[in-house]
Amino acid sequence: MASRPLSQKQLRVRREELEAERAQLLEQVAELDAEASVNNWREGGFDDDPADAGSASFERETAQSLSNHARGLLTQIDDALRRMDAGSYGTCERCGEKIEPDRLEALPYATLCMTCKRREETGR
């Protein structure tokens, strides 16, 4: 079932949301990278208690994991913004139909319509 394309107003709102989320994620990545750097420095001390070193290692790995997740979201957001610029935003990459507006509202960087996403998840 084909959905109606997004209006110019809906596209503008979606772009603003994506750009705001992008700015927030860039800030988060910078903070996490700084935290990982501090933990690397703390981990390198010779007089550290083994428990402190383990804690610093855990904190560094957690910060790196969160940073990697945020970077992945940034990539998806950047791809969505490029699709907006190219005029293909909101079009399913698999079937070519319009992605449901509710889906784009929930996941603005979605690349598949619900039908194709279900098929992907069930392996069909």
Range of the domain at 81: 8-122
pTM value > 0.75: yes
Q: Is the pLDDT of residue 2 over 80?
A: no
**CATH code of the domain covering residue 16:** 1.20.120.910
- The confidence score (pLDDT) of residue 43 equals 55
Neighbours of 86 (CB within 10 A): 9
The answer to whether residue 3 is domain-embedded is no
The answer to whether residue 74 is domain-embedded is yes
- The confidence score (pLDDT) of residue 124 equals 74
- State how many domains the chain has: 1
Residue 64 or 111, more confident: 111
The answer to whether residue 95 is domain-embedded is yes
Dump pLDDT digits (tens) for 33-86.
888 777 666 555 555 666 666 676 787 788 888 999 999 999 999 999 999 999
Residue 21 near residue 77, CB atoms below 8 Å: yes
The answer to whether residue 85 is domain-embedded is yes
- The confidence score (pLDDT) of residue 5 equals 76
Cβ contacts of 3-8, under 8 Å, gap ≥ 24 = 3/97, 3/98, 3/99, 3/100, 3/101, 3/113, 4/98, 4/101, 5/90, 5/98, 6/89, 6/90, 6/101, 6/104
Dump pLDDT digits (tens) for 7-22.
899 999 999 999 999 9
Residue 98 near residue 4, CB atoms below 8 Å: yes
